[in-house]
Amino acid sequence: MSRVVGGAVIAVAVAVIVSFAVIGSSQRDVTIQDLAAGDCFFLPEDDIGLSITSFSLAECDDALKRASSGGGVAAYVLKVGTLDESSSQFPTAEDLLQMVDERCDEFALTVPAILPLVPDETAWNVASGPYACLSVSTG
């Protein structure tokens, strides 16, 4: 996980367990299975280290501007997929991170800070273990 830059981003990588349940419908909230390459969203500082259950999509320029003003992380979705191992027992957090990190390796030489998003146990069992590779910027 040497590609993940900064203490706050490391905390996100270790603590972010993504559920595919949606919270709220007034904004353009999506779940990990709804993310697509090219999507952007902003993680406020108070969300870092907490489980993320939905993502409020934003214009990429807006997310970067918010991150550059401090207090959060802009995320750009590089890749989404499924681990397709959901028939097996739910793995440890370390094993999940390793599985997703391996799938995000293709960006290691071109993207300075990669954040792997991993599924929680529900998403593992119901949605074949969705994951995402993000390019992140703290500003």
pLDDT digits (tens, 9 = 90+) for 128-137: 888 999 999 8
Give 45-100 pLDDT, tens digit per residue: 766 544 566 788 999 999 999 999 987 889 999 999 998 765 678 888 899 889 99
What are the extents of the domains in the chain?
7-137
pLDDT of residue 41: 92
Say yes or no to pLDDT of 24 above 50: no
Residue 40 pLDDT greater than 60, yes or no: yes
pTM beyond 0.85:
no
**Which of 55, 51, 63 has the alpha carbon at shortest distance from 80?**
55
Distance between CA 127 and CA 139 in Å, rounded? 33
If phi > 0 it is left, if psi is from -120 to 50 it is alpha, else beta; for residue 9 that is alpha
Residue 109 has what DSSP assignment? T
